[in-house]
Amino acid sequence: MDKIKMQKDKLLKGIAALLLFTMICVPLKAQRYGTCVGLRGGNNGVGITVQHRVLPRTTIEPILNFNLNSASLTVLPQYHIPIIGKWFNYYVGAGPHLGYNYTLGFYGGATAIAGLEWKLPILRIQFSFDVKPAFHLYHPDNKYIGWHTGVSLRYVAISHRDLKKQERANRRANRKGIFKWWLF
């Protein structure tokens, strides 16, 4: 019983560390790049995905994945390379993952990702297809490599245009006229 409690504590601490890592990375350039939120489905279950642009051509994507016998959290920094214009590109990346198998216990390791992404700017929709090999540093079933493929459908919650508009409004609001020198 104590072993299960210790494993749960380790998983919760790991998830908290991954979320903290995500929150620390997001503010780096958050005011200039967009955020997409959506669903991911594939041969390893279904999940929730959030993709946030932190630098030019760089995003960070936490994926919370569920299937019948396990749940996992993966945080993937990704580098995007345009193929045709700025709406169709491929991406590669790697990051940590933590999971819990309901019958076997906890597992963790590193995950790589490579995929294609297509953005529909008029509809604010983004489609992606990816291959995501997982390399488990620890797995109770002695399974050290898992191959996952998936399709994601995301809604562009905050577009680049929205962020630019907000930036202009903030600049206008902060302007002081030549005769308003007494306002601080």
Q: Which residue has the higher pLDDT, 13 or 133?
A: 133
Q: Is residue 76 part of a domain?
A: yes
Q: What is the structure's pLDDT at 9?
A: 64
Neighbour count for residue 2 (Cβ, 10 Å): 6
Whether residue 64 is contained in a domain is answered as yes
pLDDT at 74: 97
* pLDDT value at residue 7: 63
The H or E element spanning position 172 is: helix 160-174
Q: Give domain status of residue 148, yes or no.
A: yes
Cut 0.85: pTM above it:
no
Look up the CATH number of the domain holding residue 144: 2.40.160.20
Each residue's pLDDT tens digit, 23-68 = 444 433 332 358 999 999 999 899 999 999 988 899 999 999 999 9
CA–CA separation, 45 and 149 (whole Å)? 10
| % of the chain at pLDDT higher than 70 | 76
Q: What is the pLDDT of residues 123-161, one digit of tens each?
A: 889 999 999 999 999 888 778 898 999 999 999 888 767
**pLDDT, greater one: 92 or 158:** 92
Q: With contact defined as beta carbons under 8 Å apart, do 26 and 52 qualify?
A: yes
Residues 6+ apart with CB under 8 A from 133: 111, 112, 145, 146, 147, 148
Give the whole-angstrom CA distance, residue 104 versus residue 27. 37
pLDDT of 91 reads: 96
User: What per-residue confidence (pLDDT) applies to 183?
Assistant: 53
Q: What domain range includes position 56?
A: 2-171
Tokens 């104590």 belong to which residue?
A: 2
pLDDT attached to residue 95: 97
So what's the pLDDT on residue 180? 55
Q: How many domains does the chain have?
A: 1
Residue type at 20 in one-letter notation: L
* 165 vs 152, more confident: 152
pLDDT: which is higher, 181 or 144: 144
**Structural domain includes residue 18:** yes
Structural domain includes residue 176: no
In a domain, 180, yes or no: no
Q: Which residues pair with 70 in a beta bridge?
A: 101
Q: Is residue 37 part of a domain?
A: yes
Residue 182 has pLDDT above 60, yes or no: no
Residue 12's identity, in one-letter code, is L
Whether residue 179 is contained in a domain is answered as no
Distances (CA, A) of 145 to 66, 95, 105, 137: 18, 15, 17, 9
